[in-house]
Amino acid sequence: MKLLLVEDDPHASASIAKGLREEGFIVEVAADGEEGLLMARGARWDCLVLDVMLPGVDGFTMLGELRASGSEVPVIFLTARDTLSDRLRGLAAGGGDYLVKPFAFSELVLRIRNLLSRGMPVKESTWSVGDLTVDPVRMKVYRAGQRLDLSAQEFRLLELLVRHEGHVLTRARIAEELWDLAFESSANLVDAAVRRVRRKVDDPFGVKLIHTRRGVGYLIAELHD
C-alpha cells in the first residue's frame, strides 16, 4: 500500500516513515501542506497521514481542497490538537480517522489498516499483471490461481514493481523506497532481493514477468514477442 505522510517535524516524519516501511507500506513524505497538496494531486495514494499544524497550508485546508477536487483518498489525521472541536472539524473535512499525539505506533498501524479495509471494493484493492494478482490490503499474492508465500520484504518489493507496471525502477529508487538507503551501500541488497522474488513469482511459471534492464534496474510487465 502506498502512503503519503505529511509531517513538518523531520525527526517525527523519519521515525514514522521508517516504522511504516517496516510494516510493509510504501511511504513518501512531504514536509509542509503545499508540498503535500502537490504530491497528493500528482499520484495515486492508498492513504494520506496528515499532521494538522503544518507550515503554509494546514492539514484541514489541504484535505478540504482535495475533497473539493473530487479526491476520495482515505485520510487519517495525526496531530497534537486534541479538542473535540478539532476532532469534529477533521472528520467534517472528510477525514476517516483522527489520532492524537503522542500515540502508540502499533495503534497508528492498526488504524491505517482499518481505514484501508473500510468499504474498499475488490477492484480497488488488488493489482494484476498477467496472471499475477497482488492484494495489498490482505498482503496476499496469487499467480495462476496459486497462492505464493512471500516474506514482508519480498511483498513490499513486488508491490512496488506492480504499482509501476511497465516502468523501469532504478536500483537507487528501489533501495530508497524499501530500505531508505543510499544506492552505493545497497546495490547488492537490491539484486539479492529481486532474485528471491523471482524464485517465487517467476521460476515456477513459463511466462516471466520480472525483467532486468542492464545497468538501470528492474520492471514488471507481461511482455510479448
pLDDT in tens, 162-183: 988 888 998 888 887 777 655 4
Cα separation, 221 vs 45, whole angstroms: 21
CA atoms within 13 A on the CB side of 203: 8
Q: What is the pTM of this model?
A: 0.56
Cα separation, 159 vs 195, whole angstroms: 15
Q: Is the pLDDT of residue 111 over 70?
A: yes
Given this model, what pLDDT does residue 204 score? 95
Q: Is the pLDDT of residue 60 over 60?
A: yes
> Using 50, 70 and 90 to split pLDDT, how confident is the model at 199?
very high
Domain 2-117 fold: Rossmann fold (3.40.50)
The CATH number, out of the four listed (3.40.50.280, 1.10.10.10, 3.30.1360.70, 1.10.760.10), of the domain defined by the range 123-220 = 1.10.10.10
| Mean of pLDDT values over 115-132 | 70
